[in-house]
Amino acid sequence: MQPLIRKQQSAFKITPNLKDYQAVSKNFSWEDVKKEIDFTGGKLNAAYNAIERNAKNWRKNKIALYWIGADNQKQKFTFAELNDLSNQFANLLHDLEIEQQDRVFFFLSRVPELYFGFLGTLKRGAIAGTMFAAFGPQAIVDRLKNSAAKVLITEPELFDRVEKAASFLPDLKTILVTGDVKFALKKKISGKKILPFNQVLSKQSSDYQTRMMAPDDPAFMLYTSGTTGKPKGVVHVHKAIIHEHISAKYVLDLRDDDVYWCTADPGWVTGIAYEILGSWSNGASTVVFNGRFDPALWYQIIEDYKVTVWYTAPTAIRMLEAAGDEIVKQFDLSSLRHLASVGEPLNPEPIRWGLKVFGLPFHDNWWQTETGGILIANYPSMDIKPGSMGKPLPGITAAIIDDSGKKLGPGEEGNLAIKPGWPSMMKTIWRRPNKYKSYFKKGWYISGDRAYTDKDDYFWFIGRADDVIKTSGERVGPFEVESALIEHPAVVEAGVIGKPDPLRGEIIKAFVKLKDGVKPSKKLKDELAQFVKKHLAAHAYPREIEFIDKLPKTRSGKIMRRVLKAKELGLPIGDTSTLEEY
């Protein structure tokens, strides 16, 4: 067990929004949270709550978005300016005959047009969809064909991929291209209008009456990949803003004087829920960087913009740690007051490293694309048990259950399950009602993750249900082996799988990425195996270790163990559209 990181109330720069977890949880009411959200006649709009209401109050001239381009271009937008731009986009959609629940998709890098375009789509009452800028033609076809999107917004650098996909998309009528579009306008794609985004937008009025929607009306959809089949479209509704608002307030501790940097791409759910909706509904200024990972540049951004709250991924944290402690000392990072992590479970070592170099620990939290918002978290005011997911968000009922739906006690491994009905829970899986129903059993949402609770009601992640390894009769979670491996000073990252074995059922195999300058050797393999034996358990060490340059990950930074296993066993990999290049 890792040493507890205790929180001293006197050490906080600012008293946390969630000062007393137990008291708030005991008296929590979603009806009370709704009072922090603007409704009109029982209806609401997520974009109105994120941006428009701020543009109508004292925050109107406050910076909402600080944007940094890949070549260090810089722009900033007030709440009022973003509101006007999103109104213009909503008016443009009106001219394009986009109506309520029509699908409008964005295939863009992290450029300003993505942010105000997304908001404008929600204002119009249409359904917004986002895609990673790294997607190829087939990934584009899979999403736009299934969703029957009518409008696509893209940029010149991505247009060739759109052109290759467009002929397979009969429902797509209009392609809007940002920036310098001369070459794109010369293209002819049968049945599609190609329009210059900035030019047609500039002709639109900045006055628009935002449509107030029923709470369960769809607002946005995101495609997530599985082991088999095509990616599935997860649909979220306007009332999701209720959950995203309060979780951003309690977990990320956001308030209107914060400068907040979420490093997530809006192609996945964190970028939508906590870079656009939940953060802006709390009035925070958001930093967006449209460039590649670089430790010095990241630290420079924190220094230049005086970032106070930083939400990033375990992969990025481990890469920053691998870059060394000395580089951190070159920058003034004293503005930081709260650090959080998202994308995959956070190992104990990066938490301790954050405490050492920033004077602050990273706070892990757990949720999924399907949940639409954070469900289990470590909070600013709560002691951290490194490696733990934390405790459920107030208003969320989480439990560990067996396959029959029976609740399990402390220390008993089972299915991580949530009582349905939280505001950001997915509405459906697009055009796949049976797939949606498969998530719910015995009155619970079944997450597909295995976990356990301890005597203090902290939740601990073990692995995906199909990732858990059974070796010589013992069950081993890959995450705990990975965590043990990265405690070793030579290791940056590790991915662990179970490999069939005639004697033991399965053996543990680890794929290990070493720090720069460390040479792979049999001696190091033996050393790592013994290290895990000593620090974890005698039965939980990897009997096979393979050194690799890069682990397969989703673009959100999650290690894809199924890809490692498929390659190891010569099995089909399944959908790879959300993977980084591998």
Does one domain contain both 289 and 400? yes
Please check whether residue 389 is in contact with residue 443, taking contact to mean a CB–CB distance below 8 angstroms.
Answer: no
Q: Is the dihedral of CA 175, 176, 180, 186 positive or negative?
A: positive
pLDDT confidence of residue 582? 42
How many angstroms separate the CA atoms of 111 and 302, rounded?
19
Residue 576 lies in a domain: no
Please check whether residue 141 is in contact with residue 170, taking contact to mean a CB–CB distance below 8 angstroms.
Answer: no
Q: By three-state DSSP, how is residue 190 classified?
A: coil
> 430 CB contacts (<8 Å, ≥6 apart)?
146, 147, 221, 232, 233, 234, 235
Does one domain contain both 283 and 346? yes
Return the amino acid letter for 259.
Answer: V
pLDDT confidence of residue 376? 98
> 368 CB contacts (<8 Å, ≥6 apart)?
269, 447
Please check whether residue 578 is in contact with residue 231, taking contact to mean a CB–CB distance below 8 angstroms.
Answer: yes
Does one domain contain both 346 and 227? yes
Indicate the DSSP class of residue 482. Answer: H
Residue 164 maps to which CATH number? 3.40.50.12780
Residues forming a β-bridge with 459? 390, 453
Does one domain contain both 440 and 476? no
Give, for 547, the enclosing helix (H) or strand (E).
Answer: strand 544-547
Strand order of the sheet with strand 505-514? Answer: 491-501, 505-514, 544-547
Indicate the DSSP class of residue 120. Answer: H
Does one domain contain both 470 and 397? no
Does one domain contain both 118 and 201? yes
* Structure tokens given for 479: 């995450």
Pick the last residue of a domain from 453, 485, 506. 453
Does one domain contain both 158 and 35? yes
* Helical H segments across 260-326, by residue range: 269-272, 278-281, 295-305, 314-322
> 10 CB contacts (<8 Å, ≥6 apart)?
none
Return the amino acid letter for 287.
Answer: V
Residue 306 lies in a domain: yes
Pick the last residue of a domain from 453, 487, 518. 453
pLDDT confidence of residue 549? 94
Does one domain contain both 537 and 395? no
How many angstroms separate the CA atoms of 394 and 25, rounded?
5
Cα maximum dimension of the chain: 72
Per-residue model confidence as pLDDT tens digits over 349-373:
999 999 999 999 999 999 999 999 9
Residue 415 lies in a domain: yes
Residue 525 lies in a domain: yes
Residue 71 lies in a domain: yes
pLDDT confidence of residue 349? 92
Residue 2 lies in a domain: no
How many other β-carbons are positioned within 10 Å of the β-carbon of residue 500?
A: 11
Concatenated DSSP letters of 51-96: IIHHHTSGGGGSEEEEEE-TTS-EEEEEHHHHHHHHHHHHHHHHHT
Q: CA–CA distance from 341 to each of 133, 263, 366, 527, 559 (Å)?
A: 23, 10, 9, 30, 15
Residue 574 lies in a domain: no
Does one domain contain both 226 and 346? yes
* Structure tokens given for 405: 């739906």
* Structure tokens given for 320: 């920053």
pLDDT confidence of residue 227? 54
Residue 555 maps to which CATH number? 3.30.300.30
Does one domain contain both 244 and 155? yes
Residue range of the domain that includes 548: 466-569
Concatenated DSSP letters of 505-542: EEEEEEEEEEPTTPPP-HHHHHHHHHHHHHHT-GGGS-
Q: Look up the pTM and report it.
A: 0.88
Does one domain contain both 129 and 206? yes
Q: Which residues of the chain, if any, have pLDDT below 70? A: 1, 10, 226-229, 581-582
Does one domain contain both 412 and 481? no
Please check whether residue 496 is in contact with residue 508, taking contact to mean a CB–CB distance below 8 angstroms.
Answer: yes
Residues forming a β-bridge with 509? 497, 544
Residue 461 lies in a domain: no
Pick the last residue of a domain from 427, 453, 479. 453
Place of tokens 């935002």: 210
Place of tokens 């990975």: 482
pLDDT confidence of residue 554? 82
How many other β-carbons are positioned within 10 Å of the β-carbon of residue 251?
A: 29
How many angstroms separate the CA atoms of 250 and 343, rounded?
18
Total domains in the chain come to 2
Give Cα 55 distance to the centre of its chain: 27
Give Cα 221 distance to the centre of its chain: 14
How many angstroms separate the CA atoms of 307 and 62, rounded?
15
How many angstroms separate the CA atoms of 278 and 254, rounded?
9
